[in-house]
């Protein structure tokens, strides 16, 4: 894994505008940064990232089977008691999953180490699957990358194929997110595009406008009954909302299924370490009230529910604390520290995208902070021919 200063395309902002990529700057700072790109060998992709991600995904499913059968673990992961049966039933019924993103520390030496699994509401999908691929095509066409250069990126095709497996043709799917959150909207539109390609109907609705009809089913702002719902809204919030009691009887198929509340929960990390101690792609992890002596001199403290680095604290030889306290009231886990690869002043995280049970893409984020945040820059990558 290397970073090469290739220089940005002179017209990339025009191309972003034409593609509807409106969040290439965030709060006035560059978010999409193609002035440099990351180069991988095919062996790195296949054996160091893709293979481990798929193995860890299988292990996560084994962990879910363990958690749904344990009241102690359901409590540890803060699943509300009133809705534990909903979560367990979704697993027992084998309700299918669509996608997720595993974040790894890789490139600083040794095997890739799983930092967390964003398995419920991951974003950066649009820039990974679409704009990054267009960058590669342009760079090859201009001669700035050689013919034969490739990218770990089959996300769009994989999403369309997975949706076709999950649903009958002509199924109407409501895609819900906060309409004024541009990255969230881009994420659901990316999946909606794949759904249309798979022969589905795709309707966007602002998640705040979903209501409960007289029949006990959820409806959109036009009072249409929602039979299938993709929601970019975390299960830990859904299970605590006013409408939570209505979910079980609403006769709605939800993507992601309720059991993903266990996989996206950072409490699964100590469960994985209990079940697979010493696995080369796992970091030692415990719940915050357990013995942490085996974690080493530097420890990362994480709320079990958090997004974009919020609430993370690194303590020890490295000392860094997120300024975002949004999730500080939640229970915490402790994880051994894994250094991120450093390029200049930047620290880089590799995000491997899962569709169904297989890995299909890679997106890289970097920041001068060791804690990846919502403003961390996105950089493209390529596979050397």
pLDDT of residue 317: 87
Measured over the CA atoms of residue 307, residue 375, residue 130 and residue 382, the dihedral's sign is negative
| Structure tokens, 182 | 């541009």
Q: What's this model's pTM, rounded to 2 decimal places?
A: 0.96
What average pLDDT values come out for the chain (385 residues) when binned by 10 residues?
Answer: 97 96 93 98 98 98 98 98 98 98 96 97 95 98 97 98 97 96 95 97 96 95 96 96 96 98 98 98 98 96 91 92 86 96 96 98 97 93 98
Q: Long-range contacts: 49-53, Cβ < 8 Å, 24+?
A: 49/104, 49/106, 49/112, 49/152, 49/350, 49/352, 49/359, 49/362, 50/152, 50/352, 50/359, 52/104, 52/111, 52/112, 52/114, 52/281, 53/102, 53/104, 53/352, 53/354, 53/359
Q: What is the Cα–Cα distance from 348 to 239, expressed in whole angstroms?
A: 33
Q: How many CB atoms lie within 10 A of CB 357?
A: 12
pLDDT of residue 149: 98
pLDDT of residue 309: 86
Encode pLDDT of 133-146 as tens digits.
999 999 999 999 99
pLDDT of residue 8: 98
Omega within 30 of 0 (cis) for the link into 256: yes
- The set of residues, in sequence order, having a beta carbon less than 8 Å from that of 7 and lying 6+ positions away, is 35, 144
* DSSP H or E segment with residue 260: helix 260-263
pLDDT of residue 308: 85
Encode pLDDT of 262-309 as tens digits.
999 999 999 999 999 999 999 999 999 999 999 999 999 999 998 888
pLDDT of residue 326: 84
pLDDT of residue 57: 98
Domain boundaries, the chain: 2-23+37-265+342-383
Encode pLDDT of 321-365 as tens digits.
988 888 888 999 999 999 999 999 999 999 999 999 999 999 999
């Amino acid at each position: 894994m290397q970073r090469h200063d290739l220089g940005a395309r002179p017209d990339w902002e025009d191309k972003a505008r034409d593609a509807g990529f409106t969040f290439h700057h965030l709060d006035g700072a560059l978010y999409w940064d193609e002035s440099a790109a990351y180069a991988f060998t095919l062996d790195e992709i296949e054996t160091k990232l893709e293979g481990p991600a798929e193995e860890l995904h299988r292990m996560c499913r084994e962990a879910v089977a363990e958690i749904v059968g344990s009241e102690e673990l359901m409590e540890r992961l803060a699943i509300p008691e009133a809705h534990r049966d909903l979560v367990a039933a979704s697993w027992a019924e084998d309700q299918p999953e669509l996608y997720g993103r595993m974040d790894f520390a890789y490139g600083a030496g040794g095997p890739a180490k799983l930092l967390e699994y964003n398995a419920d509401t991951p974003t950066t999908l649009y820039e990974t699957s679409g704009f990054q691929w267009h960058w590669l095509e342009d760079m090859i066409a201009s001669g700035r990358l050689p013919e034969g250069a490739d990218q770990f990126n089959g996300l769009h095709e994989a999403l369309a194929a997975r949706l076709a497996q999950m649903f009958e043709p002509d199924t109407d799917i409501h895609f819900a997110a906060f309409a004024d959150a541009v990255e969230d909207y881009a994420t659901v539109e990316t999946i909606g595009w794949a759904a249309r390609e798979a022969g589905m109907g795709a309707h966007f609705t602002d998640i705040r406008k979903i209501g409960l009809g007289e029949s006990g089913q959820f409806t959109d702002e036009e009072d249409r009954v929602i039979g299938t719902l993709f929601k970019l809204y975390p299960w830990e919030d859904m299970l605590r909302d006013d409408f939570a009691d209505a979910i079980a009887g609403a006769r709605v198929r939800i993507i992601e299924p309720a059991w993903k509340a266990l996989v996206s929960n950072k409490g699964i990390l100590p469960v994985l370490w209990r079940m697979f101690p010493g696995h080369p792609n796992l970091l030692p992890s415990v719940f915050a009230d357990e013995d942490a002596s085996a974690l080493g001199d530097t420890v990362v403290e994480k709320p079990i529910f958090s997004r974009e680095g919020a609430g993370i604290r690194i303590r020890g030889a490295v000392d860094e604390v997120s300024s975002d306290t949004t999730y500080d009231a939640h229970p915490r886990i402790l994880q051994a520290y894994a250094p991120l690869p450093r390029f200049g002043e930047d620290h880089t995280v590799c995000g491997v995208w899962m569709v169904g049970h297989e890995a299909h893409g890679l997106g890289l984020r970097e920041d001068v902070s060791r804690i990846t945040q919502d403003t961390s820059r996105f950089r493209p990558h390529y596979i050397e021919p």
